[in-house]
Amino acid sequence: MASLKEIKGRIGSVKGTLKITSAMKLVASAKLRKAQQAVQAMTPYEERLHGILSALMTDYAAKVARGVLTPSAGPADAFTAPRPAVRRVALVAVSSNSSLCGGFNANVVRELFAAIRAWEESGAEVTVIPVGRKVADAVRKVGFPVSDPRLKLSERPTYDGAAALADELTDGYLDGRFDRVECIWNHFVSTATQQVRREAFLPLAGLPGADGTAVSGSPAALRGDYIVEPSTVEEVRLLLPKVLKINIYTLLLDSSAAEHAARTVAMQTATDNGEDLLADLTLEYNKGRQQKITSEILDLVGGSFDR
């Protein structure tokens, strides 16, 4: 059995740790609120921008169906047309720069390694583009070459940083350095739940009429409330890069919110476990003191009888 001095030292150590975990929980909670507000503020803008682009693509498809435009003039083909063979893949993995956030980073790393194995087995050359120190360190440990981990972009996402990353990915795709670009990150569902997502960034999917095919519906209803100047084709060409940049920015904000949520839960769990340990140590310390006092009293009583 540990001595009272040792137990007292452990109690002091646990109390000091509890102060740290409690403070980290408060900080993570405050950052989580700000991150949630940023995501909530960006989501309507992203949805509206996607809606406008979809309406323009629908209008374009209707014009193709009427013979006004030819499919060869498709403004989105460079971004939406899948490559006949995927030989070069870029994987963008988003993690945090620090630990103490539960399985947040481990889940992303696990999904990243699974994606790497799957693409390499298919014969594709994989390029990892990390955003965050933890995923970069994990990839380096297995001897995989990685680029700049973009620490600032992981810690505090900005639109300018996201736009620069989107431009880099888009240029690589259009230049033929990548045949496909995928993103892996933690999606914020709630404070207690984060889901790892792996989605294609390029080629861009989900746009109506992106391949120039006709869509159902009357031509009058397809145009919506938009008056397009100078032309549908030009507007689509202008909006597509903006949509890609917004996609990356929203993804980074989503990952940031998930990180702070995971850290909040991890620090709350650590605090709860610390308090349980503190209660057990305090009980053990009090029992030891009581036993020591009882022994001293028995010694005194025994000594008086010996007289």
Q: Which regions of the chain does DSSP assign to beta strands (E)?
A: 88-94, 125-131, 180-190, 193-202
Rounded to the nearest angstrom, the gap between the alpha carbon of residue 119 and the centroid of all alpha carbons in its chain is: 21
Q: Is the dihedral of CA 253, 239, 175, 70 positive or negative?
A: positive
User: Could you give the C-alpha distances from 46 to 36, 90, 153, 221, in angstroms and in order?
Assistant: 15, 24, 19, 23
8 Å CB contact between 39 and 32? no
User: Could you give the C-alpha distances from 302 to 136, 251, 295, 297, 305, in angstroms and in order?
Assistant: 69, 76, 10, 8, 5
Contacts of 270 (CB under 8 A, 6+ apart): 17, 21
> Tokens 């639109």 belong to which residue?
159
Helix (H, G, I), strand (E, B) or coil at 223: coil
CA dist., res. 215 & res. 64, Å (int): 10
Q: Where are the alpha helices (DSSP H) in 67-158?
A: 77-80, 104-121, 133-141, 151-155
Q: Active-site positions?
A: 101
CA dist., res. 242 & res. 123, Å (int): 32
